[in-house]
Amino acid sequence: MAILPIRIWGDCVLHRPAAPVTTITTEIRTLVADMFETMDAAPGVGLAAPQVGVGLRIYTYTYDEPGEPTWRGVILNPELWMELPAPGLPDPESESEGCLSFPDEDFPLRRSDHVHVRGSDLEGEPVEIDVHGWRARIMQHEYDHLNGIIYVNRLIEPYHSEAHTIARQKGWGIPGLSWLPEEE
């Protein structure tokens, strides 16, 4: 297994839709193992294949809630259904999220509280996920990556402008930038 470099905002693979997985090959299995290792090292609660430079519809996720077993998995070719997000403005305290491809920043974003995701696992078996709250947020964030959307694209003002200013200051927004998480 290997920790993979994580592409940064501006790299082309992040900003275009990913292609469906047609066959689960040895390469795909290795990619998924590497994605789990990279996600844990980053550390992050989710990682989509485009973030490690692979334009395929795959993401991994992991989430710990006190008193519950770790919620963790991989999904291939997901379809996502969501309840409409509640109206109103996002609360900066409880509704801020970040992205490994826009590192060290977070911004408030209103998301749906309830999603249903359908796809397949690494054995090609059907997977159904029905979740609320932060887990639903993770699903929406990672699913967006497969459509070339980063949460920064969804921000309202003033957060949208702030994010773009930061990207400019950090020299992001051009192809070829990445960062490498360190081993734990």
Interface with Zn ion includes 99 (CB under 5 A)? yes
What per-residue string of b and e applies to 28-59 under the rule 16 or more CB within 10 Å gives b? beebbebbbbbbbbbebbbbbbbbbebebbbb
Interface with Zn ion includes 109 (CB under 5 A)? no
Q: Which of 125, 142, 157, 162 is catalytic?
A: 142
- Using CB positions, name the residue nearest to Zn ion: 99
Q: Which stretch binds Zn ion (CB under 5 A): 34-42, 71-79, 93-101, 112-120?
A: 93-101
Q: Is 79 a catalytic residue?
A: no
- Strand order of the β-sheet with 46-48 is 46-48, 58-63, 71-82, 114-120, 126-132
Give the C-alpha separation, 171 to 9, whole Å: 10
Interface with Zn ion includes 58 (CB under 5 A)? no
Q: Which residues pair with 178 in a beta bridge?
A: 7
Residue 54 or 99: the one with the smaller Cβ distance to Zn ion is 99
Token representation of residue 168: 């400019």
Residue 131 or 141: the one with the smaller Cβ distance to Zn ion is 141
Least distance to Zn ion, CB of residue 123, Å: 26
Catalytic residue numbers read 142
Name the site residues for Zn ion (rule: CB under 5 A): 99
